[in-house]
Amino acid sequence: MESRKLQRVGRSTLTVSLPNKWVKENNIKPGDSVFITAEKDGTLKIVPGYAVHREEVEEEYIINVDACDESGMLERIIVGSYILGHNVIRIISSNRIEKEHINETRRITRKLIGLGILEESPTQILLQCSLDPTKFKIDMLVRRLSLIVSTILTEAMQAFMENNGSLAEESIEREDEADTIYYLATRLLLHAQRRPDIAEQIGIADPLFIPALRLILQSLELIGDYSEDIAKKVIAIGTYRERIEKSIIKKIYDFSEVAQTVFQKSVDCVFTGDLRVANSVLEMKSNLEIEAERLMYELPEIPYLRAILSGLVNIASVGSINADIAVNRALQERSKHIEGIVEIVRHTWIPRR
């Protein structure tokens, strides 16, 4: 950290010189404009003029579909481009875009909010995103994603309990909706990292919380994947259903309800800052792991049965990550729920000379 003294210019103006290294790196010359932003923590942010104007320039992201010769490659590039905030995506081919790539583009576009096909020709597809990030609140998207993955798990386990293959299929279909919310929320978070003004508008008061929000979203998306996989195994286990005792089915179902409670309460206490709830959730997860180990020995040798239980253990484990985040956030923000538990005492440290 560099220290610089303030200089008085005139009667009321104070100035400070800019570091020479920073000036050279940003190619700033006398007469150039810089922009100064006051941050909430009392610091000042100095941004070169060209960096501010650069945000106004719309970049076109071009994908050479001829090079996308592996399964799922085009879809993943489109999703990545969307998440990174590109509003104009052009897919090109030197000859003709194959039908498989056209179908892949249309399929993934339906899952990305705000992104649509603007133009289409034999050799080009133009995608454009007209999303206004300020129309969304990040906490509502997190809660929405939590509700969707919770529903996927509930329906999957209800299908297991009732031997209802149709309900398991419905559960699997909901995964697309979970992906849609996850992609949207991740795009907004990356946008908020670049634009503090956008961060405030979507409900992020502290930019330091953005990485934690990204981790919360990833955990919920992963829980959705585990729940979808459980639903698929519920369908696959159908032919062996008669060999499973009702008591075993009930134990696994009850286990799933506790696992679901772990990840639901973990998300809730991130926003409430309740330290005690977060701690109880982490204890619940630890007890579940012990119970899962005991239950594994009771299960009969039937395909997919242990895999279902393992999936539920993974859901509780991944979901509890959010309880750890809740503890850290409560301590950092000095939540009212830590009163009487943690006390902050400030000491002035004077270095020895």
Q: Are residues 206 and 308 in the same domain?
A: yes
pLDDT digits (tens, 9 = 90+) for 49-83: 665 555 555 688 999 999 998 989 999 999 999 99
Q: Are residues 110 and 26 in the same domain?
A: no
Q: What is the pLDDT of residue 241?
A: 84
CB 225 within 8 A of CB 175: yes
pLDDT digits (tens, 9 = 90+) for 267-293: 999 888 888 889 999 999 999 999 999
Confidence of residue 223 (pLDDT cuts 50, 70, 90): very high
Tokens at 41, concatenated: 């923590």
Mean pLDDT on 228-254: 92
> What pairs with residue 35 in β-bridges?
47
Q: Closest Cα partner for 230 from 256, 251, 249?
A: 256
Q: Of all residues in the chain, what percent carry a pLDDT higher than 70?
A: 89
Which residue matches tokens 């792991």? 289
Range of the domain at 217: 135-338
Domain CATH number, residue 156 = 1.20.58.220
Q: Which residues contact 152 (CB under 8 A, 6 or more apart)?
A: 171, 172, 174, 175, 178, 224, 227, 228, 231
Mean pLDDT on 144-154: 96
Domain CATH number, residue 35 = 2.10.260
Q: Are residues 122 and 224 in the same domain?
A: no
CB 97 within 8 A of CB 125: yes
Q: Are residues 176 and 249 in the same domain?
A: yes
Please give the residue that has the higher pLDDT: either 186 or 332: 186
Average confidence score pLDDT of the chain? 88
Give the phi and the psi of residue 126 in degrees, each rounded to 5: -105, 120
Q: Which amino acid is at 14?
A: L
Whole-number Å distance between alpha carbons of 299 and 109: 43
Q: Which amino acid is at 47?
A: V
Q: Are residues 47 and 139 in the same domain?
A: no
Q: Of all residues in the chain, what percent carry a pLDDT higher than 90?
A: 61
pLDDT digits (tens, 9 = 90+) for 13-44: 778 888 888 788 888 888 787 777 766 667 77
Please give the residue that has the higher pLDDT: either 197 or 341: 197
Whole-number Å distance between alpha carbons of 322 and 331: 14
Domain CATH number, residue 100 = 3.30.110
Alpha carbon of residue 250 to chain centroid: 33
Choosing from 129, 146, 161, the residue where a domain stops is 129
Q: What is the pLDDT of residue 103?
A: 94
CB 244 within 8 A of CB 286: no
Name the domain count of the chain: 3
Give per-residue burial for 207-227: e unless 16+ CB within 10 Å, then b. Answer: eebbebbeebbebbbbbbbbb
Enter the pTM of the model: 0.81
Q: Are residues 230 and 327 in the same domain?
A: yes
Q: What is the pLDDT of residue 52?
A: 53
Handedness of CA 235, 236, 237, 238 (dihedral sign): positive
Domain-located, residue 351:
no
